[in-house]
């Protein structure tokens, strides 16, 4: 692990100012993604995951990448949770964070997990990060504007209390629905085989484009200062649920491929 951290430190030596880092899908959202992914894993993949994760579930480890934020030793990983790009731009043409982003983070995790020379501990560590980052990739404000730090400075109210659009999509809209992660995972939309294959299609950059189309919509879904609540959830909670379902299916695709 020390060698990998040293290498990462060298790669990420250039700094980029970010006064405050954005949050991510709340715990419930990430656990939903992990629970959904379980249903799409090959048996051989499940056995390898059990070995690497000491029989802990994908839902259980899905929040690990957030939990380690409390430890300064892991600060280099914070920028991996998001990327910034203009609403009318693409990832390929946007300015890249020299400290890394969702794309470089996911790519690095996959490299370590697939490397036969990696230790079991390193594979497990980066596997936990990967599980989390695939979830983050599908939260629309994780591909948001740098000007408002992915919606964190898009100030609104949630049920008459101060909030912001990032927080609403991360946590508040999902939590206000009142279902546990397992209940949400058990009640996903029915999808045909053709629909599932359509979701699986493409690569990481294709999935970014897919989420970014949604990013444009959610930025237009409210004005600064709006008081959002039940009516907003009625319009957009199904969108968040769809994104978590997509994330689970695509996470399983990635894990089946690399394990």
* Gyration radius of the chain's alpha carbons: 18
**Total domains present in the chain:** 1
Query: 180, 105 in Cβ contact below 8 A?
Result: no
List of E strands, 129-194: 155-158, 161-164
> Quick one: which of 31, 25, 29, 37 has its CA closest to 250?
37
> Quick one: which of 79, 76, 77, 99 has its CA closest to 14?
99
User: Would the CA dihedral through 36, 39, 41, 44 be positive or negative?
Assistant: positive
Give pTM, 2 decimals. 0.90
173: domain CATH number is 1.10.575.10
Look at residue 7 in the predicted model and tell me its pLDDT: 42
Rounded to whole angstroms, the Cα distance separating 217 from 111 reads 33
Query: 259, 123 in Cβ contact below 8 A?
Result: no
36's tokens = 């959904």
One digit per residue, the tens of pLDDT, for the chain of length 259 reads: 434 443 444 333 333 333 334 344 689 999 999 999 999 999 999 999 999 999 999 999 999 999 999 999 999 999 999 999 999 999 999 999 999 999 999 999 999 999 999 999 999 999 999 999 999 999 999 999 999 999 999 999 999 999 999 999 999 999 999 999 999 999 999 999 999 999 999 999 999 999 999 999 999 999 999 999 999 999 999 999 999 999 999 999 999 999 9
Look at residue 128 in the predicted model and tell me its pLDDT: 98
Domain, as residue range, for 225: 2-13+22-258
Look at residue 25 in the predicted model and tell me its pLDDT: 61
Look at residue 26 in the predicted model and tell me its pLDDT: 83
């Amino acid at each position: 692990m020390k060698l990998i951290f040293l290498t990462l430190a060298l790669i990420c030596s250039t700094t980029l100012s970010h006064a405050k880092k954005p949050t991510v899908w709340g715990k419930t959202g990430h656990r939903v993604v992990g629970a959904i992914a379980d249903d799409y894993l090959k048996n051989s993949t499940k056995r390898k995951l059990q070995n690497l994760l000491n029989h802990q579930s994908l839902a259980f480890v899905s929040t690990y990448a957030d939990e380690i934020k409390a430890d300064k030793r892991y600060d280099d990983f914070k920028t991996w949770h998001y990327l910034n790009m203009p609403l009318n731009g693409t990832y390929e043409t946007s300015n890249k964070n020299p400290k890394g982003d969702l794309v470089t983070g996911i790519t690095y995790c996959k490299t370590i997990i697939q490397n036969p020379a990696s230790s079991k501990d390193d594979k497990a560590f980066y596997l936990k990060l990967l599980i989390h980052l695939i979830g983050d990739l599908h939260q629309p404000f994780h591909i948001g504007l740098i000007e408002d730090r992915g919606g964190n400075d898009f100030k609104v109210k949630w049920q008459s209390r101060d909030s912001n659009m990032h927080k609403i999509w991360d946590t508040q809209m999902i939590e206000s629905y009142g279902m546990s992660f397992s209940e949400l995972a058990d009640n996903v939309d029915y999808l045909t085989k053709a629909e599932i294959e359509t979701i699986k299609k493409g690569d990481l950059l294709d999935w970014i484009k897919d989420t970014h189309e949604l990013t444009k919509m959610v930025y237009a879904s409210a004005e600064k200062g709006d008081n959002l609540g039940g009516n907003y959830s009625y319009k957009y909670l199904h969108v968040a649920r769809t994104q978590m379902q997509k994330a689970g299916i695509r996470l399983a695709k990635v894990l089946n491929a690399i394990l």
